[in-house]
Chains A and B, each alone.
Chain A
Amino acid sequence: MNNHLSDDQITEWVLGTRDEFVRRHLETCDACSREAEGLRRTISSFRDSIHATAQRDQSFWRNQQLAIREQVPGRDWYPLHWAWAVAMVMVLIAAVFLTRPPNSPRNNATEDADKVLLQEVQRDLGREVPQALAPAVLIAEERDEILTNKVIRQTETTLKKRR
């Protein structure tokens, strides 16, 4: 019997694809049957070898858990938590304002003094000349007046002479 199964057919069989023609052939052909069975057994041994290699003792898994546990953050600060924290701060601020004692008489007096001072400042600002410079302004005005009178007198004298 020279017509053996192709590589593809044997691969498909090992992968689990069940074809009636292949099944009949494997029943009658020892060579193909050995080939398919050998491949299946080898892959199975490979599977067992990985399972055996990955078989570790309990301390290995426990250490692994601890290593993961150390890397995972202790607790997350979610936005909800932030919102909660902000709300609490707002409540605290509101509480401070609400529980503040009413203004005392001393405070009223201070406020009156402040008002008077403010009015004085406004008055000062409203002046054309600062209060401290008021005498200098008077001197300047008198000086101007004298000068003006002097000029007038000189003018009158000049006019008289011409006449």
Chain B
Amino acid sequence: MSIEVRVPTVLRTHTDGEKRVTVEGATLAEAIDDLEARYPGLGDRLRDDEGNLARFVNVYVNDEDVRFLGGQQTELADGDQIAILPAVAGG
């Protein structure tokens, strides 16, 4: 199962500058694990210390915010696309 991940500029230090990388996984959790295995540090940016999705990083599957899908349990199909964007917030 091949999943494309769009990597934002700010996280491309983990991917040698690559904008798009490919991972495997039947769920988002597996895809993040695979991302971490292939690009150490990158998968960890998406989770907090308890392993939950990090609060200030947006993760999308096929342009849908995964908070409104199944979170890390979101099922993935071949050809799905994951996008990652650090949240933009402030006061």
- Chain B binds chain A: no
B residues neighboring A (CB under 8 Å): none
